[in-house]
Structure 1
Amino acid sequence: MRIRELEKSQLALTNRGQLSIFALGTGSAFSKRLNQNNVLIVKGKDHVMVDFGTKAPQALHQLGVASTDIRCFLITHSHADHIGGLEEVMLMGRYVARSKPKIIITSEYEKLLWDFSLKGGASFNEIHDGHTLGFSDLWDVVRPTWLAGYPRETFEVQTGSINIKMIRTNHYPEQAESWETSYYSVGLLIDDRVLFTGDTKYDPALLADFQKRFKIETIFHDVQFFPQGVHAFLEDLGKLPRATRKKMHLMHYSDNFEQYTERVKELGFAGFVRQGCYYDFE
């Protein structure tokens, strides 16, 4: 893997064919210095935007890209730092670009995302034959396929040249003891080589099970600097096997992350994910 800084002011949505993950943001939900933990997967002519928080439209604009330029989205869960920019995507798509972006989403999560988060700001903009807008009026829906025989609920989608497996995680509420009792949230396995946990509590089984099944080269993992709560505590992650820590880049961190740089090195992690950089996998 090679870390590459953005060479031009404009973010490219295509490349020469390698798998690239661009960190549009790396910050936690309430960061003021950083963008939110949203990433763009690019491979050849294909791209997938993973999460689109409240800061994402502005972050893209600063890189010369409009929200309507993004043609495929995948959302890991419904906190505002991951979905807060979707209303702009829907309304700009329908009334400005006049086209529907793709969204990779299970039927279960579509209902949750629409009914509890997106419907109020989008559904009531039009009435046709007594009906307001529905999810499919605003999105081109792509359904992933459920995979049998996995240690936890896992779905798969092939979008162009990019393969993504969507893996259920234990993020919230704090009281949930497993992914099965957690509200909907997923991490991603990208091209069977890069594990992106999304937001998750400390979950050694997630890492162990999928490293046994796949040759994972790099792990992008959620982190926080205090115990309990709904994210993975740094000191808990420090209990993982050294080989796992060595390939783990920490993301979704708070504004005071520099205070923990030395501790991250002491624990043997690869480091913090760098906002505004590509992570290239040849």
Structure 2
Amino acid sequence: MELQLRMLGTGGAFSTRYANNNALMTIGDFTLLVDCGVTAIRSLHEMKVPLTSIDGVFITHQHADHIGGLEEFAFQMLYVYRQKPKLFVPSTLRNVLWENSLKGGMINPEAGLNSLDDYFEVIEIAEGSAAKLSEDFRLEILPSEHVRYKSSYSLLVNDRLYYSADTRFNRARLEELHDRGVRYFLHECKLYGAPGVHTTLEELLTLPEELQEKIQLMHYSDDMENYIGRTGPMTFLHQHELYRYPLD
């Protein structure tokens, strides 16, 4: 069994070259879209991925580069394809996702569209728990600290692949997962500047080399090419390329 990954984009929130850091993950016959940012629908079109081939969407947090395309995705699925897609959402995000982010553009009482459930088959996942998305696809959500007092999450897929999404540096978590046998770490990386709401390259370079060898970098700035060869054994993920990760 393997996980197949294609990044819709690998850029940070302000990137104009690399699109929003969103991912397509496929295990067996189930394809999950991890986040659906402003550039997601265009990226899927460029990749020739039909919206109907996506079995579910997972949202890690509320920033526009992670949810800004969700309205269009929902509208296309409703009005073009007449389908109600699955939306996997952490329990702490369900209400704020609708009330604070989506409601203004998507509520339509005349059409009977008054809630997230009118557009999606909403499946809540409790913080720190695991969900079985299909026979082969298991997902555990791990609370992360990104912007304080706002819920955000990282993912652990089939106990083998860690996907950080947006997060401050968490050495203890990375080392604990490494010790547990996690093989692959897809981690966001702020290439320069002081630590803040994102993990910096400087911080990641303090990790043990055997852990760095497992890390692929994403969510980077437009000057990424200037850092090739400056990331230790860590490598960069590239948008639209197909990556295969054996899970057995």
TM-score range, shorter chain: over 0.9
Q: Which residue of 2 aligns with 1:11?
A: none
For 2:23 and 2:193, how far apart are their aligned partners in 1? Answer: 24
Q: Which segment drifts farther, 76-85 or 103-112?
A: 103-112
Q: Which residue of 2 aligns with 1:206?
A: 173
Work out whether 1:105 is the aligned partner of 2:70: no
Deviation at 1:127, TM superposition (A): 4.8
For 1:46 and 1:66, how far apart are their aligned partners in 2? Answer: 14
**Does the residue aligned with 1:226 lie in a helix, a strand or coil?**
coil
Work out whether 1:215 is the aligned partner of 2:172: no
Q: Which residue of 2 aligns with 1:159?
A: 133
Counterpart amino acid of residue 147 in structure 2: Y
Q: Which residue of 1 aligns with 2:226?
A: 259
8 Å contact from structure 1 (residues 171, 200) kept in 2: yes
For 1:156 and 1:200, how far apart are their aligned partners in 2? Answer: 20
Q: Which residue of 2 aligns with 1:22?
A: 6
Counterpart amino acid of residue 216 in structure 1: V
Q: Which residue of 1 aligns with 2:198?
A: 231
8 Å contact from structure 1 (residues 28, 36) kept in 2: yes
Work out whether 1:281 is the aligned partner of 2:245: yes
For 1:211-242, what per-residue CA distance to the aligned partner results, in whole angstroms no more than 9, with x for missing partners?
33x31111011100211221111111111111
8 Å contact from structure 2 (residues 143, 154) kept in 1: yes
Q: Which residue of 2 aligns with 1:134?
A: 115
Work out whether 1:43 is the aligned partner of 2:7: no
For 1:106 and 1:34, how far apart are their aligned partners in 2? Answer: 27
Percent identity for Structure 1 against Structure 2: 35
Deviation at 1:268, TM superposition (A): 2.7
8 Å contact from structure 1 (residues 126, 133) kept in 2: no
User: Structure 1 203/156 Cα, relative in aligned 2: closer, same or farther at 3 Å?
Assistant: same
Work out whether 1:268 is the aligned partner of 2:243: no
**Does the residue aligned with 1:61 lie in a helix, a strand or coil?**
helix
**Does the residue aligned with 2:156 lie in a helix, a strand or coil?**
strand
Instruction: Select the structure of larger CA radius of gyration.
Output: 1
Q: Which residue of 2 aligns with 1:172?
A: 147
For 1:93-138, what per-residue CA distance to the aligned partner results, in whole angstroms no more than 9, with x for missing partners?
222211110011133211011111011111126354xxx5211011
Root-mean-square deviation (CA, aligned residues, Å) is: 1.6
Contiguous gaps of at least 5 residues in structure 2: none
For 1:126 and 1:42, how far apart are their aligned partners in 2? Answer: 37
8 Å contact from structure 2 (residues 30, 55) kept in 1: no
8 Å contact from structure 2 (residues 6, 240) kept in 1: yes
For 1:184 and 1:221, how far apart are their aligned partners in 2? Answer: 18
Correspondences of 1:34-113 after superposition (within 5 Å)? 34-113=18-97
**Does the residue aligned with 2:243 lie in a helix, a strand or coil?**
strand
8 Å contact from structure 1 (residues 226, 234) kept in 2: no
Deviation at 1:68, TM superposition (A): 4.2
Q: Which residue of 2 aligns with 1:124?
A: 108
Q: Provide TM-score, normalisation by structure 2.
A: 0.93
For 1:35 and 1:140, how far apart are their aligned partners in 2? Answer: 27
Contiguous gaps of at least 5 residues in structure 1: 1-16, 147-152, 174-181
8 Å contact from structure 1 (residues 28, 252) kept in 2: yes
Counterpart amino acid of residue 124 in structure 2: R
For 1:85 and 1:68, how far apart are their aligned partners in 2? Answer: 15
For 2:73 and 2:196, how far apart are their aligned partners in 1? Answer: 31
User: Structure 1 125/90 Cα, relative in aligned 2: closer, same or farther at 3 Å?
Assistant: farther
8 Å contact from structure 2 (residues 60, 66) kept in 1: yes
